[in-house]
Amino acid sequence: MGSSMGTASKALSLLNYFSRATPQIGLSELARLSGLNKATVHRLLAELAAHGFVEQVGTGREYRLGPAFLRLAALRENQVPMREVALQQLTELSDATGETAHMSLLNGDVLSNLAYAYSNRHGTMVMMEDAEVLELHSTGSGLAVLAYSPASFVDETLARPLSARTSQTITDPAEIRALLPSIRAEGIATSTGGFEEDVISHAVPIFDTRSACIGAMAVAAPVSRMTDTLRMMIRDKLMAHARQTTRILGGFPPGSFPSYEPQNLLQNEA
The pLDDT assigned to 151 comes to 95
Residues 24 and 115: their CA atoms lie apart, in Å, by 38
Which of 48-57, 78-87, 180-189 has the weakest average pLDDT?
78-87
Residues 159 and 164: their CA atoms lie apart, in Å, by 15
User: pLDDT above 90 covers what percent of the chain?
Assistant: 66
The pLDDT assigned to 180 comes to 97
Query: Residue 16 pLDDT > 60, yes or no?
Result: yes
Average pLDDT of 245-254? Answer: 92
The pLDDT assigned to 259 comes to 82
The pLDDT assigned to 191 comes to 96
Number of residues written out for the chain? 270
Element (H, E) at 207: strand 199-207
Mapped onto helix, strand or coil, the DSSP state of residue 24 is coil
Residues 33 and 109: their CA atoms lie apart, in Å, by 44
Beta strands in 30-166 (DSSP E): 54-57, 62-65, 100-107, 110-117, 133-135
Q: Are 148 and 186 in contact (CB under 8 A)?
A: no
User: pLDDT above 70 covers what percent of the chain?
Assistant: 92
* Banded pLDDT at 79 (limits 50, 70, 90): low
* Banded pLDDT at 263 (limits 50, 70, 90): low
Q: What is the pLDDT of residues 86-106, one digit of tens each?
A: 999 999 999 999 999 999 999
What is the secondary structure of 76-107 as a DSSP string? HHHHS-HHHHHHHHHHHHHHHHSSEEEEEEEE
Q: What is the pLDDT of residues 192-227, one digit of tens each?
A: 999 999 999 999 999 998 899 999 999 999 999 999
Residues 72 and 65: their CA atoms lie apart, in Å, by 13
* Banded pLDDT at 127 (limits 50, 70, 90): confident
The pLDDT assigned to 75 comes to 78
Q: Are 261 and 221 in contact (CB under 8 A)?
A: no
The pLDDT assigned to 237 comes to 96
Query: Residue 269 pLDDT > 50, yes or no?
Result: no
Which of 96-110, 118-132, 251-265 has the weakest average pLDDT?
251-265
